[in-house]
Chains A and B, each alone.
Chain A
Amino acid sequence: MNINALRAFVIKEFHHILRDRQTLTILLLMPLVQVVLFGFALRSDVRDIRLAVVDPMPDHATMDLRARFVGSARFRIVEVFKTPDAIEPLFRRGSADVALVFEPGFANDLESTEPAHLLVAIDASDPNTGTTYLNYTRAVIQAYQSELNARSNQVRIATQTRMRFNPTLESVNLFVPGLIALVLVLVSALMTAISLSREKERGTMEVLLVSPLRPQQIIVGKVLPYLVLAFANVLTALLAAWAIFHVPFRGSIALLLSESILYTLVSLALGVLVAARTSSQRAAMLTALLATMLPSALLSGMIFPVASMPGWLQPVTNIVPAKWFIVIARGIMLKGVGLAILWRETLILSAMALLLLAAAMRSFKPRLD
């Protein structure tokens, strides 16, 4: 065991990284640019809904309801027709999202004992926004209806809703933890995978293997500089989130930073494992990419909640480290909880880090094939 050799090796690795200014710039700037760009651009909320109205016989009730849609701030009436045939071409061109179709004599029906019918057609080719359109439309109609009920002395139950932890349903608050998870896994898993497999490809790995360094030390030496780099990324990303988007930090920053280091370790171990199992930079990269980018974006709950996924898929998400990190980061940032509640997720991440590191050490053979 030679601690001096290890130190020299780590210093050499740092030199390698610092020498390549171009890559270093990309590495330091990329996470920042991404958090800023996506923080502004990614929104799952629906704001401007284009409404087409079919009103064959306008009366006071249809005008009243139409006025409510206009007044709701979310809706904008793009066109009013007399017959329903006009909707189809409008939808096909994609110039309307929702169509509200009245029947003739809407006001009369409302006053009689027969129910008044109302058809709501939505462009559901995107089911996610389609559902949202429908819900907002229903909400406007419901508000109108409960007012009618109140007039006719019917029962009204007012629901006071509180959206806890994110009252305005601001997308950026939810995406920032996910973006950090995504950027970290990309930087750490890919960089280590590439750095190790490059040594293999260039034949310098042989030199390392006959040196007095042990395989474990080689791994530590490779991993350490990227841990520092990834930590710098976390800091810049969090700073951007706080300064530009005013994302809340309700819990302990120290805990958040330690959890980020833990998660980075998992990603780095993943990178070492990939490098140990592949033979070329290309193969390492492709494997690392396919194993990290899409799963971390889709199976982690970053955009789509895990609870919404089909039953068979939910257990699969458990092996995605980003999922656990996102639960932790949201817990600390939005809910202000600490280890008392997040111990389970932390334990899982630690177990993942240990397992992956052990697997990586084992696959990392001290001799060449």
Chain B
Amino acid sequence: MRTLRFLVRKEFLQIFRDRFMVAQMLLMPIIQLLLLSSAATFEVKTAAMYVVDRDHSETSRGLVDRLQASRRFMVVGASASTEPGNEMMLARKVGVILSIPADFERDIVRTRSGSVQLIINAEDGAAAGVTQSYAAQIIAAYANELGAQLTPLVRATPPIQVHARGWYNPELNYRDYMVPGILVQLVTVIGTLMTAMNIVREKELGTLDQLSVTPLSQSVFMAAKLIPFWVIALVELTLGLLVARFVFHIPMLGSITLVYFAAAVYLFAALGVGLFISTLVETQQQAMFVTFFIIMVYLLMSGLFTPVRSMPEWAQWMAQLNPVKHFIAIMRSILLKGAGPADVAAPIGVLGVFGVVFLTLAVRQYGRRIG
């Protein structure tokens, strides 16, 4: 036990000696949290619209007015031909082209039905779908309005009124959802990468061989490598939670103790992966690349950016093996939904299993090397 204490102290001294590293580890995540948490949204603010109005009637102008009045669309150009609009779309100056055919008004008055064409720049994927649905709603409302004007005797209100309510996040605040996830990601990057680099560095410098002839047991050595980063990661989590609470005012419905308990368990898994990589490779360069690869897979397949449920089935199974996915789900349900210990017991258990497996593997692998 005494040896362990000395070793841990030595590790801490070694980490804190490099002021630059300490600043990096503690400041960068905060900056990233501030910057990145606002970025992750598919919200469509105002789409630049080009209007090709071949009808030039009161009705066609009315439609353009309604679209503009919604503030979702802003007319940036208009003409009687599609060509300039096309050019502008290629240059990303226009997101939507609305094309109204000649005789639009006449058709509506005579046959009660008209048609318009909407060309949406789908280069940004999800945003295009959102734009489309806004336009469809506005156009449908306008059709109702026209109907009321043309035949005042028929009802003026749309027959079905839809009342929408978003649960758990009624204002659809993207930040509330992203901050817990990004927090997990930052803790993971620092924790896994730093542990992965640590032992391999001793290998590269040759000090590992010196250590292996001292009367240290494998597990004490591993523990001494693990504990400092475990503590640092928890400190980092605390900083992140403070930013989340006081800068972003993220609702924290559940118990913070539970968050820390889950984090403590999770970090064994995250650091265990790092340690395992560290024992496996020979140079820091290799350690870094393997870690990057793993972190990138973790990151992109964790449900942080794209929902796990949208993935193909095999990828969803793979995601089950991803500790980051579980911890993000835990953080989100504790902080946003107020989940209690019973709700998150299962995923925390899974994380515990990951931790035990990775740490055992790491100690084994390290032992094999000495042997």
A residues with CB within 8 A of B: 20, 22-23, 26-27, 30, 33-34, 37-38, 40-48, 91-92, 110, 113, 115-132, 134-135, 137-139, 141-142, 144-146, 148-150, 152-167, 169, 171, 174, 182, 186, 190-191, 194-195, 198, 278-283, 285-287, 289-290, 293-295, 297-299, 301, 303-305, 307-310, 313, 316-317, 327, 330-331, 334-335, 337, 341
Contacts and interface: CB of A to CB of B under 8 A. Distances in A.
Contact of A283 (B18, B90, B190): B18
B189 A23 contact: no
6 contacts: A44-B305, A123-B168, A125-B337, A138-B162, A282-B284, A307-B127
Given A44-B125, A304-B40, A157 B116 contact: yes
A130 B292 contact: no
Contacts of A293: 189, 292, 295-296, 299
Contact of B169 (A127, A285, A290): A127
Contacts of A43: 306, 310-311
Given A127-B41, A164-B122, 7 more contacts: A38-B300, A119-B163, A121-B166, A124-B167, A128-B40, A169-B122, A195-B285
B208 to A, nearest CB: 16
B79 interface: no
B231 interface: no
A23 to B, nearest CB: 5
B53 to A, nearest CB: 14
Interface stretch (B24-32, B220-228, B242-250): B24-32
A167 B123 CA distance: 10
Contact of B310 (A45, A155, A298): A45
A335 B137 contact: no
Interface string B293-329: 1011101110001110111100100100000000000
Given A160-B118, A330-B123, A142 B136 contact: yes
A162 B118 contact: yes
A130 B133 CA distance: 14
Interface stretch (B3-11, B144-152, B262-270, B356-364): B144-152
A22 B286 CA distance: 8
B300 A159 contact: no
A309 B36 CA distance: 10
| Central interface residue in B25, B113, B176, by most chain A CB within 10 Å | B113
Interface in B32-55: 32, 35-36, 38-45
B32 A127 contact: no
Which 8 residue pairs across A and B have the least CB separation, nearest first? A124-B166, A41-B315, A135-B133, A163-B122, A154-B147, A166-B122, A155-B147, A305-B124
Tell me what chain B mostly uses at the interface: helix, strand, loop, or mixed.
Answer: helix
Interface residues of B, number: 115
Given A42-B300, A156-B143, A280-B18, A126 B127 contact: no
A155 B296 contact: no
A124 B130 CA distance: 15
A174 B165 contact: no
B185 A174 contact: no
B164 interface: yes
Contacts of A280: 18, 21
B115 to A, nearest CB: 4
A125 B332 CA distance: 8
Contacts of B160: 110, 115-118, 141, 144-145, 148
B130 A156 contact: no
Contacts of B45: 307-308
Interface string B91-118: 1100100000000000010001111111
B233 interface: no
| Central interface residue in B121, B170, B197, B288, by most chain A CB within 10 Å | B288
B126 A45 contact: yes
A164 B119 contact: yes
B129 A194 contact: no
B312 A40 contact: yes
B289 interface: yes
Contacts of B72: none
A337 B89 CA distance: 11
B129 A135 contact: yes
B190 to A, nearest CB: 8
Given A124-B168, A127-B174, A313 B35 contact: yes
B73 to A, nearest CB: 13
Given A134-B164, A303-B306, A307-B124, A282 B112 contact: no
B132 interface: yes
Contact of A290 (B32, B95, B120, B168): B32
Contact of B144 (A26, A128, A155, A191): A155
Contact of B336 (A125, A128, A285): A125
A174 B193 contact: no
B20 interface: yes
B125 A153 contact: no
A47 B89 CA distance: 28
B209 interface: no
A44 to B, nearest CB: 5
B126 A124 contact: no
A165 to B, nearest CB: 5
Contacts of B143: 146, 149, 154-157
A191 B129 CA distance: 39
B135 interface: yes
A47 B108 CA distance: 35
Contacts of A157: 63, 108, 113-116, 139-140, 142-143, 146
Nearest to A48: B309
A329 B196 CA distance: 34
Given A123-B168, A159-B118, A194-B284, A174 B124 contact: yes
A116 B157 CA distance: 10
Contacts of A341: 90-91
B159 interface: yes
Contact of B166 (A42, A134, A135): A134
A145 to B, nearest CB: 5
A158 B41 contact: no
A283 B24 CA distance: 8
A164 B172 contact: no
Nearest to B43: A308
Nearest to A113: B155
B75 interface: no
Contacts of B35: 295, 299, 313, 316
A337 B121 CA distance: 14
B170 A124 contact: yes
B161 interface: yes
Contact of A141 (B162, B282, B311): B162
B158 interface: yes
Contacts of B142: 157
Nearest to B296: A34
